[in-house]
Amino acid sequence: MRLWDIYSRRARRLAWLAVVAVLGQSPVHAVVVQSQEEALQEAFPDASVERHTAFLDDRQVEQVRELAGTEPSSRVVTYYRGVREGELVATAYFDTHLVRTLPEVLMIVVGANASVLRVAVLSFLEPRDYLPGERWFEQFHGHRLGEGLSLKREIRGITGATLSSRAATQAVRRVLALHQILTAATDEAEEVEPTPAEQPEERR
């Protein structure tokens, strides 16, 4: 790992603790699990990681809204592709959203077949009592974007933590919608072959 990554890891931890202090929350109640760099290492232990940034246009924002049933968190989407021996392993997204009044950050890893491989909590600033356990997040594994990916269908809610389960489910749907749209955009771009420039006619 490069030196700036180590400093970045420490800076992110300090930033989250600063947010906790500003919001008047005790660190006992807030949960800062791991940094972004640590999460990526766990997601892609034996693959190189490529960082990409996409800028959503109006049409893509509307597509996310229609597919996910929720607004995109931002028009600027940063995602990380794990690549091994030239082949795509998976893609990781970091989704930041409000649960009740305080933010949560989830890493959602999407496989090459567009299904969820992993959902991990990086930080959760609401009281610990409202944080779902790892086993609850495991029920997203293998899901693709569809009607079944809903609290009313195949995702079990949590008694006493309805807002937490709803926020996480919306985040997973949002990421899967983004992944579908960005993958389609990438495929379209790769299919377009540049037209060779016409050579000027030689004068005789």
Is the pLDDT at 13 greater than 60? The verdict is no
Tokens read off for 183: 């993958």
195 lies in a domain?
A: no
Q: Answer whether 0.85 is exceeded by the pTM.
A: no
Q: Residue 179: which H helix or E strand, with range?
A: helix 162-191
CA angle 77, 110, 95 (to 5 degrees): 40
Torsion-angle region of 76 (φ positive above 0: left; ψ -120 to 50: alpha; else: beta): beta
When divided into structural domains, the chain yields a total of 1
CA distance to 21, 59, 69, per residue, from 181 (Å) = 38, 10, 14
CA distance to 29, 68, 146, 179, per residue, from 138 (Å) = 23, 20, 17, 20
State pLDDT tens for residues 84-137. Answer: 999 999 999 999 999 999 999 999 999 999 999 999 999 999 999 999 999 999
194 lies in a domain?
A: no
Which of residues 10 and 141 earns the better pLDDT score?
Answer: 141
State pLDDT tens for residues 20-72. Answer: 444 444 445 668 889 999 999 999 999 999 999 999 999 999 999 999 999 99
What type of residue is 125?
L
151 lies in a domain?
A: yes
Domain housing 83: 3-188
